[in-house]
Amino acid sequence: MANQQPHPLAMTIGDPGGIGPELALKAWLAQTTEHTATSKQGSTMLPFCLIGPSRILRQYAELLDLPVPIVSIDDAARAADVFARALPVYEIADNNAPVIPGVASAATAPMVINSIETAVNLTRQGITSAVVTNPIQKSALYQAGFSHPGHTEFLAELAGPGTVPVMMLANSKLRVVPMTIHIALSQVPHDLTPDLIVTLSKITAAALTRDFGLPHPRLAIAGLNPHAGEDGAMGTEEQTIIAPAIARLRAEGYDVTGPLPADTMFHEEARSTYDVALCPYHDQALIPVKTLDFHGGVNVTLGLPFIRTSPDHGTALNIAGQGVARIDSLLAALNMAGQMAFNRLSPETPSHE
* 23 vs 147: which has the higher pLDDT: 23
Q: What is the 8-class DSSP label of residue 227?
A: G
Across 27-41, 48-62, 107-121, 237-251, least confident range = 27-41
Structure confidence at residue 150 as a pLDDT band (50, 70, 90): confident
- What is the mean predicted confidence (pLDDT) over 239-252? 97
pLDDT at residue 182, as a whole number = 84
Percent pLDDT > 90 in the chain is 80
pLDDT at residue 4, as a whole number = 75
Sign of CA pseudo-dihedral 109, 143, 147, 192: positive
Phi-psi region of 258 (alpha: psi -120 to 50; beta: other; left: phi over 0): left
Return the amino acid letter for 342.
Answer: F
Residues 6+ away with beta carbon under 8 Å from 46: 5, 6, 7, 8, 9, 129, 130, 334, 337, 338, 341
What 3-state DSSP class applies to 260?
strand
**For the chain, the helix, strand and coil percentages under 3-state DSSP, each to the nearest 5:** 45, 15, 40
- Start-to-end Cα distance in the chain: 19
Sheet holding 87-90, edge to edge: 70-73, 87-90, 48-51, 9-12, 131-132, 308-311, 298-302, 166-170, 175-178, 276-279, 218-222, 255-260
Tell me the pTM.
0.91
Across 65-69, 148-152, 271-275, least confident range = 148-152
- Could you tell me whether strands 298-302 and 308-311 are parallel, antiparallel, or unpaired per DSSP bridges? antiparallel
Residues 6+ away with beta carbon under 8 Å from 130: 6, 9, 10, 46, 123, 306, 307, 308, 309, 337, 338, 340, 341
Structure confidence at residue 348 as a pLDDT band (50, 70, 90): low
Across 32-41, 181-190, 273-282, least confident range = 32-41
Q: Distance (Å, rounded) from C-alpha 273 to C-alpha 256?
A: 11
Structure confidence at residue 44 as a pLDDT band (50, 70, 90): low
Q: Is the pLDDT of residue 347 over 90?
A: no
Across 10-14, 138-142, 227-231, 288-292, least confident range = 227-231
pLDDT at residue 31, as a whole number = 87
- CA–CA–CA angle 224, 227, 229 (5° rounding): 60
Q: Specify the long-range contacts of residues 318-321, CB closer than 8 Å, at least 24 apart.
A: 318/102, 319/19, 320/17, 320/18, 320/19, 320/22, 320/101, 320/102, 321/22, 321/60, 321/63, 321/64, 321/101, 321/102
What 3-state DSSP class applies to 113?
helix
Structure confidence at residue 235 as a pLDDT band (50, 70, 90): confident
Structure confidence at residue 35 as a pLDDT band (50, 70, 90): very low
Structural domains of the chain ordered from first start: 1-163+295-353 (3.40.718.10), 173-292 (3.40.718.10)
pLDDT at residue 45, as a whole number = 80
Q: Name the average pLDDT for the chain.
A: 91
Q: Is the pLDDT of residue 34 over 80?
A: no
pLDDT at residue 14, as a whole number = 95
